[in-house]
């Protein structure tokens, strides 16, 4: 059986508002940092969106290569990228 990976929740399970970071800790020395921090921009994306960005970088930004690897058309990959750009612009 594979290991179950816990994913960082991005939205409040009660009201669907964006979550923020409140506590970080070091497992090595038990230091804790508490406060009210925003998640980094890329961490606010879904896992699927983050994987798309990683694949984009690994393909040196070639949408043609990405389309081939994903088994979809170039316009489909272009649309995915455009949607992701729009989402990032709205988050900022």
Per-residue pLDDT, averaged over 81-92, amounts to 93
Long-range contacts of 54-58 (CB under 8 A, 24+ apart): 56/81
Angle at 34 between CA 32 and CA 38, to 5 degrees: 125
Within a domain: residue 36?
no
CATH value at residue 72: 1.10.10
* Count: domains in the chain: 1
The number of helix segments (H) and strand segments (E) in the chain equals 3, 2
- Give the pLDDT band (50/70/90) at residue 5: confident
Residue 76: domain span:
41-91
Within a domain: residue 20?
no
At 31-52, the pLDDT tens digits run 999 999 988 899 889 889 999 9
Please say if the pLDDT value at position 1 is more than 70.
Answer: no
What pLDDT is recorded for position 11? 87
């Amino acid at each position: 059986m594979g290991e179950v990976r816990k994913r960082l929740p991005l939205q409040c399970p009660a009201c669907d508002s964006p979550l923020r970071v409140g506590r970080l800790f070091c497992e090595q020395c038990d230091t804790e940092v508490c406060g009210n921090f925003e998640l980094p921009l890329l961490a606010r994306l879904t896992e699927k969106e983050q994987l798309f960005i990683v694949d984009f970088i690994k393909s040196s930004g070639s949408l043609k290569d990405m389309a081939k690897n994903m088994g979809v058309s170039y316009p489909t990959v272009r649309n995915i990228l455009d949607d992701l750009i729009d989402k990032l612009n709205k988050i900022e």
